[in-house]
Structure 1
Amino acid sequence: MRSTTHELPDIRFLTSGPVTEDERAAAERALRTVLGDVRGTVSSAGLTLSVVADGALPRPALAQAVVEIGGRKVRAQAAARTITEAIGLLRERLTLRTSHLRDG
């Protein structure tokens, strides 16, 4: 349970390749979920979602987040076979990187 609530900034998006609105919305939900419980002011947040149409690549999908929390930049990224999988991995990695900033 959250002990405090605060507004998060608008998320800046950069997408390339075949990224759907549903995938974009899933990435935004994942980022907002991770950042919802952090202590400190989230002053900026950006997400990059990219899919390269190259069947030879083992992980053609990339999800990346860069957020500024309390004046400190935190970055996480993940590459996977699908953008949905990359978003899930990104959420896990960002959760780890911000774990010391959790309320409680």
Structure 2
Amino acid sequence: MRKAKRAEIKTQDTINRYLRDLEKLSGGDPDLARAILDQSIANTYTGLFALKSSPNRTVNSSASNDPFADSGTWSVGRKLNIAPSLIPEYLR
């Protein structure tokens, strides 16, 4: 992706800098480092950034009052009863 964006890594110093950044962001955890790299590749980033959905992030206090703040886990195991006439024919 970096080549497509014309942002190739051209020097060993740049590689070393990215490796240091990856070490800092992951705290030395190889699984987290792999997840950071996967995120950068999937989102076509030209740099390395902390994971957007870090499992250790704190919950916003205002969001804790929101019944939908749990990323949709409230719906697990529930069924929706929708009249078939409301569903478009091509989705039935």
TM-score by length of 1: 0.27
Which is helix-richer, 1 or 2? Answer: 2
* Rg comparison, structure with higher value: 2
Higher normalized strand content (fraction of residues): 1
TM-score where L is the length of structure 2: 0.30
Question: 1 or 2 for the larger relative contact order (CA 8 Å, sep ≥6)?
Answer: 1
